[in-house]
Chain A
């Protein structure tokens, strides 16, 4: 399959934080031909390892893009067969009324997050956002039949097809951060054509949205010399200050700030030039909110970098990005990895 097909398949599949194993067959199919070994760890992160060609001890680079999506979970089935929900991960609850969803019970069931018709609203009611406790899912079943098919703790995901918009933009659910996973795939394809000394671990991390847990344990296990997170950054859109966003289709953004090792940022900038990839700079004055935050403080410390793919409408079901930015990110990562050698790694220790 190619990168576009992979992105569409990943976007439309269900893999809520903590339940990412659903995606494993798809990832195996995509990554196995490109690497030496694939495995899944205890928390559900998918790890694809490709050995480098340098003499041992080889430097190691870990890429991290998170696999999980935000979603919801059933907390109750009421007397009429409607379902009550809680959130898994930080979703904007204002997107929920009128949303089509998939309930992952004994079998997948279509559902609708129902709403009061406008005719019956009190004055001023529509100016207030609904609380999660007020929302319900209609699966079209009565209580008895709902209980046969659905249990408390079952997951509910957005049901939204992946679509292509104008100018190479694409839109779908879970592009945060499945686009990062596809960027790693594109990177590995490029690595086939480049001379690479370092061992590469492409990790599709689990449970990032609920505390970065996949990155914590996989980094502890791998002990990489360099860690690069590939996540989404806020794309430009009306009403958001410019210095908090990056424009779409102008290349990935390279983060700078305490979460990022300055020399890694420098080498990423250089790799961008060599690869002919346009990039912008993203100022991150503290917690980057990505796997880079947890990777950086693993064991005795891991020097980290962060490549962000600009994305609009984060944590909704209509996340939108430029497919070219994705391709650029993948190529950039490959050129970066190709320049990582022992002396670069040694130079990352401050005196």
Chain B
């Protein structure tokens, strides 16, 4: 069975700031053609993923995180188009690849665990067949494939009896582990997991997160974990990128971003997550709702809901700038972040 790596804080990982970058996304733009017009789902997102690093891509529904992640694998909806930016993966520009090459790196170098992956397993095939199918894409067949299938199940902590089962015979947590096994089958360099634990119960969620964290460490795989839950990223991610209205508004090592947030949206998000280990303080909502991405506002997108907004904020969009080594924020007032953080902890700041 797996040995769980406990007690390691993410401080060590964040110290490896000089880790070579596996993936570098700059100014990514993805749009959808809808009956109402063009929807700019991702409109200038930039973030990095280092070698053997777990990045948490955090944001609420509609912020563009899933779209951004899917564009990395080249699997986008029919009406979606990448309209700008660059994605550099191990030195190659992913956006410039033709369909053939993009298809080739899927599963072998970049693997995607879709949202509610446990429901995306084919119900009419046994688990072993599904594992073998993916292994065949990497030209692993026959005896070698069957051995590898067993090895993968060991890695995710499932008994070999699962091989003969159909998806509906397994619990949600077990199916999620199968989805993770499928993603790791061909030793990819990067695994993108979209809301991998959202649909799971708390205890199962914890177990799956522990498994993912342990595997990530042992296999030196990079992971992008997409979620809306800050507690989950705090638990297992080395670094975090916060997305809002199609853009990355803040990114940096987990400890730094959560402890010294520099963007008001991040500060607001932290207020919205209750901390079980502390007293039941007042939860403070962020008033209003995200802007309509069919007609994105000029200037900072969070300005309408930001308690610290200046006139400048509504007119000029702040660029994502490095305010400390490895810590980037897109806010005109990031220099006053310490003072703003104090004010952000008070409920009255967020009331209209």
Whether chain B is bound by chain A comes out as no
Binding site for B on A (CB under 8 A): none
